Structure 1
Amino acid sequence: MRTLILAALAAGTLATPALAQTAGAPFTGLRIEGVAGYDALRDGHDKTDGFVYGGAVGYDVQLNNLVVGAEGELTGSTADTRTNNLITSGDRFRVGMGRDLYVGARVGFPLNPTTMAYAKGGYTNARVETRYDIGTTSTRDHSDLDGFRLGAGLEHQIGASTYIKGEYRYSNYGRANGSVSSYDIDADRHQLVAGVGMRF
């Protein structure tokens, strides 16, 4: 019995520093999350808005009062515009936002043991899908937009491994790569999203 008690005390003593380190760095580790919110794309005077949804995976390391990390995200969007009688009577033309790939980094600043403010930035590649219908004939195509993304948000822990967040991000696309040719553009995208995630 004495041996078991001494072993338990030793195990507790050895585990204490590790637990203290985890408690002192709550924003460290692998994380996965789901995001959803408002999506708006502006190209000149044209505006397309809708609902953005998807998921992300990232890894963060807390260094005293600074959190640094990397993340990747895949989202889709319901944002689209539809035009009837574009070329001739009875035709239909649709332009919709497809998948969006993002990879970047973020820097966080803990405000207290459970809440962190952060800024982010990186590369984004968004797909624009088009469809033209006339009679029973349908023609589809797409272009991929290259650009950058900047954002900022707040992350708050609601459990030992669960968190919620709110985030605004701005994306600018300067190049469109179509199936036939590539050309320069200047399109702005604004998104306001909420997220729920788990950290491992």
Structure 2
Amino acid sequence: MRKLMVATLLAGAVVATPALAQDVGPTFTGPRVEAILGYDHVGAGSDVDNNNGRDDQSIDGLLYGIGAGYDVNLGSAVVGVEGEWTDSTAKSDRYDLTDQFGFGRVSQGRDLYIGARAGILANPATLVYVKGGYTNSKLNVLAGNTNETTDRSFKLDGWRIGAGVERAINTNTFAKLEYRYSNYTDANIDYMNGATSADFDVDTDRHQVVASVGWRF
């Protein structure tokens, strides 16, 4: 009888342990990596006046890249830090236009982002969050009426905010849908001889809608 009671208690402990682990939040916690794909729109900001009657100029393309982060599940809320490297197919396609929202004819280059996010758990498998941080983007200058890039580029500094929904597929895998808005306020020019111009003011907007799939360690 005593052996039966001990066996029953051990079996109950084995069953209770996973349940207890779920109570303290097995998802949305720890380091993560992800693949990013989405829509990218870059254009003149509201304060720009190019004096050419075409201040609504913009470029659109496919955004792709990778991200990484670290989250802490607090029970009903999640906080974390994150970073990204992305690139884009967006570029100017009007050869007869030399002033493309103030930068000439350009293609969107790499973008670096570092920031933080915070959210609430709508249910144990769904996180709704907001985010914000610093972004540094590169615009490659295209040569005249060709698709070749020069060795000159604009580098833009700015900030990003966004919001999204993350869904835990299981403890280790997840999927996200996210909207982000970036505004770049400072820029400089990198020349082909290695020289860099002094910083100057810009006002460039960027809107992105992206989807991600990732792995949590």
Q: TM-score, normalising length from structure 2?
A: 0.78
Once the two structures are TM-superposed, the CA of residue 183 in structure 1 deviates from its matched residue by 1.0
Amino acid at match of 1:96: S
Distance 1:23 1:54, change over 3 A: farther
Alignment of 1:1-200 (within 5 A): 13=13, 16-17=16-17, 20-22=20-22, 24-25=24-25, 26-43=27-44, 44=48, 45=55, 46-84=57-95, 94-133=105-144, 139-179=150-190, 180-181=196-197, 182-200=199-217
SS in 1 for 2:143: strand
> Residues 50 and 86 (structure 1 numbering): CA distance in 2 closer, same or farther, change over 3 Å?
closer
User: 1:13/1:40 Cα in 2 relative to 1: closer, same or farther (>3 Å)?
Assistant: same
Distance in 1, matches of 2:24 and 2:105, equals 52
Contact kept, 8 Å, 1:131 with 1:140, in 2: the verdict is no
In proportion to residue count, which structure has more strand? 1
Q: 1:74 to 1:19 in 2, by over 3 A?
A: farther
Aligned length: 191
The 3 A distance-change label for structure 1 pair 199 and 138 is closer
Classify 1:77/1:10 alpha carbon distance in 2 versus 1 (closer, same or farther; 3 Å): same
Corresponding letter in the other structure for 2:210? V
Larger displacement relative to structure 2 (99-108 or 151-160): 151-160
Does the 8 Å contact 1:33/1:56 carry over to 2?
A: yes
* Backbone CA RMSD of aligned residues: 2.8
Change (3 A) 1:148 1:107: same
Deviations, residues 154-191 of structure 1 (Å, cap 9, x unaligned): 00111231111100000000001212422100011000
User: CA, structure 1 residues 101+133, in 2 after alignment: closer, same or farther (shift >3 Å)?
Assistant: same
Q: Distance in 2 between matches of 1:86 and 1:153?
A: 36
Deviation readout 1:14-50 (Å, 9 max, x if unpaired): 8955762355312111111111100001114221110
Q: 1:176 to 1:12 in 2, by over 3 A?
A: farther
Deviation at 1:133, TM superposition (A): 4.6
**CA gap 1:11/1:71 in 2 versus in 1, 3 angstroms:** farther
The one-letter amino acid of 2:68's match is V
- Distance in 2, Cα, partners of 1:138 & 1:70: 34
Q: Deviations over 1:32-75 (max 9, x none)?
A: 11111000011142211101000100000011211000001000
Instruction: Note the residue ranges of structure 2 that are not aligned, 5 or more in a row.
Output: 1-5, 49-54, 99-103, 191-195
Structure 1: state its 5+ residue gaps: 1-5, 88-92
